[in-house]
Each structure stands twice: as structure tokens, then as C-alpha cells.
A and B are shown apart, each in its own frame.
Chain A
Amino acid sequence: MSDNDTNHDDVQVPEPVPPRSLVRLREVRGDDLQEVEEGEVPIVRVKPERIEDVCRFLKEDPDCRMELLSDLSGVDMIALDRPEPRFDVVYHLFSLASGERMTLKAAVGENEEIPTVSTVWRTANWHEREAFDMFGIRFAGHPDLRRILMPDEFDAHPLRKDFPLEGRAKDHGYWRRPEDERGRSES
């Protein structure tokens, strides 16, 4: 607290107050949460199968009203010493009414599925498509889960840690002409 300040004896530094939305979330959906990290923007780890309900609660509850899903991204946790479950899906929420922000995280494994939140916020549709494209995270109940940035026929997930930065050898020269191909195989 304020032990080191010698000239602030008469001023009490107030305890940081957790945001109202976090308080409500703990009250109503406490069982769905796994871990809460307080801070300027609370980071809440949610049980993956309950993510859609938690999001819907946060959006519709009059005290939370997290109407804006700012961003939804995947993270490959394998190199942060958490090989199982491999991916984290991170949701950044914002409430216009109260100005509160919150970050939700849900873990999902390589061949598992996590419920989609595109029924809660329509913006999640493309974000989840990108997470699928880049990491291979599957979202159950997504209306249109296909690749968005990479070509449709692409067969790997580029943002995974085991995909090389320069691309795989066979991806180089994607649109090679047949004569170049013959030249390569001859040399």
C-alpha cells in the first residue's frame, strides 16, 4: 500500500475497486470461471464449454452491458510451456455505457471444439474464421467456418509455432508454370 510515502499520512490511498462487471460476473457466473487476474483490465479465464453463456450474460446483463467485442484472437501456447490444451482464445470486451473493459480467455486443445460466440456478437464471425484459418481452432456452431486470409485450398495453419516463418518449401512459387517445374526437376 502506501507504506513508503512518508508525507501522505493524512491521505488514504483508496483500495483499487474491482469493476462492477467483474463483481457481477463473479456473483452470477462464478462457477464458470477458472481463474481471475485483477488489474486495470481484469483477465478472466473461463471454462471453454461455458464461454457462450458467459459472453451472453456479459452482453445482456444491465450492469455489465459489454456490447462491443473489440477483438477475438487465438494464441498458440505451446512455446509458453503449456502444450495441452494448446490454444487460448482471447476475447476483449468493452462496455460503452460504463467504460469498463474485460478480457476473457478460454483454453481449447488441438482437436477440440469451443462454442462460437457469433450468436452473441455478429462481429465474432470473421474473427473466428481468422482464428480457424491461422491456428486451426474449431468453433462449434459457427455458421460459415472457412478460411478467410489464406487461399481455400491451403492445408496448414500459419500462425502455429511449428509453421516456419519463411513458409514451407513446397509453398514457395505457388503459381509456378509447368516449364519452370520441369526445369527444377531436371536440375
Chain B
Amino acid sequence: MFGPSEMEINLGPQHPSTHGVLRLKLKLDGERIVHTDPVIGYLHRGCEKLGEDRTYLQTMVYTDRMDYVAAFSENLVYIEAVEKLLGVEAPPRAQYMRVVLAELQRIASHLLWLATHALDIGAMTVFLYTFREREMILDLFEAYCGARLTLSAVRPGGMYQDFPEGFADETRRFCDILPERLDDYHQLLTTNRIWRERTQGVGVIAGDVALDYGVTGPCLRGSGVDYDIRKAIPYSVYPELEFDVPLGSTGDTYDRYLCRMEEMRQSRRIVLQALDQMPDGPIQTKVPKRIKPPKGEVYHVNEGPRGELGVYLISDGTESAYRCRFRSPCFVNLQALPEMAQGHLVADIIALIGTLDIVLGCIDR
């Protein structure tokens, strides 16, 4: 059970850097990690059960609170699944609006990831700089729908209101500022010797092993596997937009870091294209007030900032879903943590939790 110098340590649910209530039971041999056992469920709120009781529109509000850092992506995947069940499609203007907001959400989520990841490894200043940019995005969200974090901005069939006056200009202004700020972060971290020593070679996971674990998103792309749902199973108006998908090569923390930094640049590119290409027109298809999709089921996936967000809905013809299952990318990515942490030191666990970019709300639902 325990070797002569083995010790079990608890990185408890209350810890400054577990990004939420995550408990890790570490078995250590001196300072090396022999075994990791994540214990989750401290934030389980029964969203799936609630989805079976509330109407479709009411459940959308719960999706905000699940992955609270990428609320819009979670909303979007759920509403698109409902639209598939209903058999309606949102008009083009609404789809472009959705893309703009989704990509802004992706940038905001990655900025938060960078802040907490750098803070855990010790670079405190990056945290405050990224939050300065994130504030600008949250102000944009607030201008659109009144909420900064839990947006609930989508409706089945389209969007509930158009962009306010000046929204596009403000967004463009933000997109102008972003590249030089990203260069600042690169200057502070990418070539920094200490950062590289902390992240290169840490948490290496091979591409096929990662795929076997179901890991998706930047964690998978950092290992060199080209799987981005926006390109593989395109949804919304992504086929009309031009962007690259950054891939890593070694699958260590440094590659995942570079992937996410580059993704921010690509998201900015998408936002500018979408703003340029956005047509005029209606923003909402006619959808009955009380949504009662016909009997059927759908499994819809979406590329969230953390990976593949999925919703599996079974409709029995009533106002509430029969089964409302949320496929959470963080839940699946966390499963790969013991594999990545094998043989590393305790100090690396912190870097690994940061690089997986977990949000406990998403894991526990």
C-alpha cells in the first residue's frame, strides 16, 4: 500500500490554486508523485436533473452557471441543440452575432486562464494585466445584454436583441489594442527562462493517449492532434470564416500555453471578419412561445474554450427535456491529470491544474 518513504497528501478542496473546489489525493514518494486521485463533486448542483424539470428556456440559465468562465459557449451549444430538435435555423445576422460573442468569450476565457496559470507559477503581474483586457470584454458583454459573466444572451431561433449602437466600433477598438497586449504577455513569459523551465517538459501527454482519454480542446491540440470542432464538425457560420488552428508538437505545458495564446489572436481575426461580413436582417426566426420540440434526440457539440462542449437532449414532446445531458470538457480533461502528473513533483501539480484549464462548475454541473 504505502512504500517506506511514501506519504499521502491532500490538496484539499480549499486551496489557493485549485481553481475551485477540487480535491486531489496525492501519493508522494519524497517529492515525486506516485499516484493522483482527483475527488470532485463538491460543486454538484444537479443541473442535469433540473434540466428535466424546467422548460428549455429556463434550463438555458443553468448552462451559464455550469462553465461560468465561458458562459456564452455553453449557452450556445444548448440553444443550438434545441434548435436542432425544433428544426429551425437562426437567421444569418443572428448567427454572425453569435460568432462574435462566442469568440469574444473565448478570448476572455483564455485571458482568465493565463492570469490564473501565471499566478500559480508565481508571475503575479500578468494576472493584473490580463484582467485589464478582460474588463474591456466584460464591458462589451454588459453593453449587449446587461450581464458580465452569466450572459444567457441566446434564444432558440436567434438572438433576443440586436447589437446596441457603437458596439461594433468598441469591439474593433478592443481588437486593435489586443495584439500589442498579447505581445506584452509574450515578452513577460514566453522567453522567460524561469517560465520555460517550469512549463517545458511538464505534463507531457502523447496525442493518441490524450485522444484515448477523450481530451479535447487546446490540451489535445497542444499534443499535435488537429481536432477543432469549428473545422471538423462546423456549426453556425464558421465555414465562411477564415482562421487557423494552432497545433503544438510535444504536448507539454509550454505548447498548450502557446496554443492558447495563438488562439486568442485567431479569435480576434474571426471577430473582425464576422463584424465585417455581418449582413443586415432579422435576428429571430419565428419560434412558438412555449417550446415543445417533437419527440427525438440530438447530440450537439461545440468548440468551447476548454474543449468539446456537448449537449445530449432527448425530447418527449413536452415543454421540458426528458434527458438533458451535458458533456463537459473539463470533466474529461481532468481524467488525464493522473497520467500527466506521473513522476512529477508536487510543485508541478499546480502548473498542471492550470494548464488543463478546469472550471469546477463545468466538471460538477
Contacts and interface: CB of A to CB of B under 8 A. Distances in A.
Nearest 7 CB-CB pairings of A with B: A123-B214, A149-B41, A71-B327, A73-B325, A149-B44, A126-B335, A122-B212
A69 B216 CA distance: 11
Chain B interface, DSSP helix/strand/loop, else mixed: mixed
B232 A80 contact: no
B44 A150 contact: yes
A170 to B, nearest CB: 17
Dominant SS among interface residues on chain A: mixed
A71 B325 contact: yes
Contact of B308 (A70, A73, A75, A101): A70
Given A103-B299, A165-B49, A70 B310 contact: yes
Contacts of A94: 233
B299 A123 contact: no
B41 A148 contact: yes
Contacts of B213: 122-123
B232 A149 contact: no
Nearest to A101: B233
Given A68-B214, A150-B44, 7 more contacts: A67-B208, A68-B216, A69-B214, A92-B312, A94-B233, A103-B299, A163-B49
A67 B212 CA distance: 7
Contacts of A67: 208, 211-212
Interface residues of B, number: 38
12 contacts: A71-B310, A73-B323, A92-B310, A94-B233, A96-B232, A122-B213, A122-B214, A126-B332, A158-B46, A158-B49, A165-B46, A165-B50
Interface string B144-173: 000000000000000000000000000000
Nearest to B220: A68
Contacts of B327: 70-71, 73, 92
Contact of A96 (B48, B225, B316): B225
Interface in A26-71: 41, 43, 67-71
B299 A75 contact: no
Contacts of B53: 165
Contacts of B299: 41, 70-71, 92, 103
A151 B335 contact: no
Interface in A1-48: 41, 43
